[in-house]
């Protein structure tokens, strides 16, 4: 673990190396964009493009380079979060400076080390020094970030019920599956051996090759097609995988199939045998 004083020291430098772990917390600088977007796509699964990030940050009217915070290790960006400043005008025409914490991301292989908690502490100090009177954050209930924010004094603000309608279920399914695979790199490796694996929802289907954005692999023997079909009711479960433990993810998957919100279809007996052979290794890699 790095100490609070070390983090503050690192932030005060454009580039600083902390003895023993070569970790830097610093402000964004031009040239970081592509690596930031890559990290966000790894963490969130299809987060978006470089153009989207630029529209949200550098092109935002009140943007400053010190609004975006980076965690860097061995010259690689492994963490990101940003401050979004806005003025809140009250009924008495009083202006109150507020800030929102947005796009929190830590590389999957660096999680559980308290790095993001340290980053939030630094960001709150920066927001306070710039006159922010209120800070808002949006984290999934019972996630590690949610629990840490409560320790820092954040309180839950009750809001009216919100309603949503899924307009692009295929995109939401792809995002949920990518996030699941990023949380389970061993499962991703196992699935790469299933050349004819497909996912479907409604009338849309896509292959494991399309999901992973790779060139289709050639197989010496065509085992047949394996199609995993989801319903819209399964999407809410998939998008929560990011904040689940391994045991919770496994139980959630079992419930999806038990409740028939996900089904497996085989185009041939060979496809069934091929998946059955890999069954134990797939389950173990979740």
Q: Domain tally for the chain?
A: 2
pLDDT of the residue at 149: 82
Band of the pLDDT at 193, cuts 50, 70, 90? Answer: low
Q: Which of 151, 186, 217 is the last residue of a domain?
A: 151
Q: Are residues 106 and 136 in the same domain?
A: yes
pLDDT average, residue stretch 22-47: 87
pLDDT average, residue stretch 135-154: 80
Confidence check: pLDDT of 69 > 90: yes
Q: Are residues 82 and 216 in the same domain?
A: no
SS3 for 232-261 is HHHHHHHCCHHHCCHHHHHHHHHHHHHCCC
The share of the chain scoring above pLDDT 90, in percent, equals 10
Q: Are residues 145 and 178 in the same domain?
A: no
* Least reliable range by pLDDT among 205-209, 231-235, 243-247: 243-247
> Average pLDDT, whole number, for the chain?
79
Q: Is residue 145 part of a domain?
A: yes
3-state SS assignment for residue 195: coil
Burial class (CB in 10 A: 0-12, 13-18, 19+), 105: buried
Band of the pLDDT at 37, cuts 50, 70, 90? Answer: very high
Q: Is residue 133 part of a domain?
A: yes
Which residues fall within 8 angstroms of residue 130, CB to CB, at 6 or more apart? 85, 97, 99
Name the range with the highest mean pLDDT among 161-165, 209-213, 253-257, 274-278: 253-257
Under DSSP, the state recorded for 90 is P
Q: Is residue 144 part of a domain?
A: yes
Q: Is residue 156 part of a domain?
A: no
pLDDT average, residue stretch 175-196: 72
CATH number for the domain harbouring residue 61: 3.40.630.30
pLDDT of the residue at 286: 67
pLDDT average, residue stretch 244-270: 85
Q: Is residue 20 part of a domain?
A: yes
Q: Are residues 146 and 88 in the same domain?
A: yes
Name the range with the highest mean pLDDT among 87-96, 97-106, 172-181: 97-106
pLDDT of the residue at 217: 57
Q: Are residues 10 and 144 in the same domain?
A: yes
Which residues fall within 8 angstroms of residue 36, CB to CB, at 6 or more apart? 28, 53, 68, 70, 77, 80
The share of the chain scoring above pLDDT 70, in percent, equals 83
Q: Which of 118, 151, 184 is the last residue of a domain?
A: 151
Q: Are residues 92 and 63 in the same domain?
A: yes
Strands 68-73 and 76-89: antiparallel
Q: Which of 151, 185, 207 is the last residue of a domain?
A: 151
Q: Is residue 158 part of a domain?
A: no
Task: Domain of residue 223: give its range.
Answer: 169-285
**When comparing pLDDT for 199 and 174, which is higher?**
199
First to last CA, the chain: 28
Q: Are residues 22 and 133 in the same domain?
A: yes
Q: Is residue 157 part of a domain?
A: no
* Least reliable range by pLDDT among 96-105, 156-165, 198-207: 156-165
Q: Is residue 210 part of a domain?
A: yes
Confidence check: pLDDT of 93 > 70: yes
Q: Are residues 41 and 135 in the same domain?
A: yes
- Closest CA relative to residue 69, chosen from 59, 57, 54, 55: 57
Q: Are residues 136 and 11 in the same domain?
A: yes
**When comparing pLDDT for 132 and 195, which is higher?**
132
Q: Are residues 269 and 142 in the same domain?
A: no
Helix (H) or strand (E) holding 78: strand 76-89
Q: Are residues 144 and 257 in the same domain?
A: no
**When comparing pLDDT for 207 and 285, which is higher?**
207
Q: Are residues 127 and 91 in the same domain?
A: yes
């Amino acid at each position: 673990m790095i100490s609070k004083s070390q983090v503050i020291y690192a932030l005060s430098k454009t580039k600083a190396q902390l003895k023993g772990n070569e970790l830097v917390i610093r402000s964004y600088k031009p040239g970081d964009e592509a690596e930031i977007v890559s990290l966000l796509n790894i963490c969130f699964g299809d987060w978006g493009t470089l153009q989207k990030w630029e529209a949200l940050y550098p092109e935002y009217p009140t943007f400053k380079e010190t609004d975006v915070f980076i965690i860097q290790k061995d010259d690689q960006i492994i963490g990101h979060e940003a401050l979004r400043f806005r003025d809140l005008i009250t009924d008495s025409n009083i202006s109150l400076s507020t800030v929102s914490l947005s796009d929190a991301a830590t590389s999957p292989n660096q999680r559980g080390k308290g790095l993001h908690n340290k980053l939030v502490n630094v960001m709150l100090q920066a927001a306070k020094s710039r006159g922010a009177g209120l800070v808002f954050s949006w984290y999934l209930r019972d996630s590690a970030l949610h629990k840490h924010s409560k320790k820092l004094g954040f309180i839950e603000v009750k809001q009216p019920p919100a309603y949503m309608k899924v307009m692009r279920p295929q995109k939401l399914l792809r995002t949920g599956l990518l996030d699941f695979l990023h949380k389970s790199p061993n499962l991703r490796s196992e699935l790469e051996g299933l050349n004819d694996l497909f996912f479907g929802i409604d009338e849309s289907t896509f292959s494991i090759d399309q999901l992973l954005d790779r060139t289709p692999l050639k197989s010496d023997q065509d085992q047949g097609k394996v199609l995993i079909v989801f319903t819209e009711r399964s999407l809410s479960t998939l998008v929560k995988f990011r904040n689940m433990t391994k045991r919770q993810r496994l139980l959630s998957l079992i419930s999806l199939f038990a409740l028939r919100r996900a089904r497996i279809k085989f185009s041939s007996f060979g496809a069934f045998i091929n998946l059955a052979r890999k069954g134990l290794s797939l389950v173990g890699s979740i």
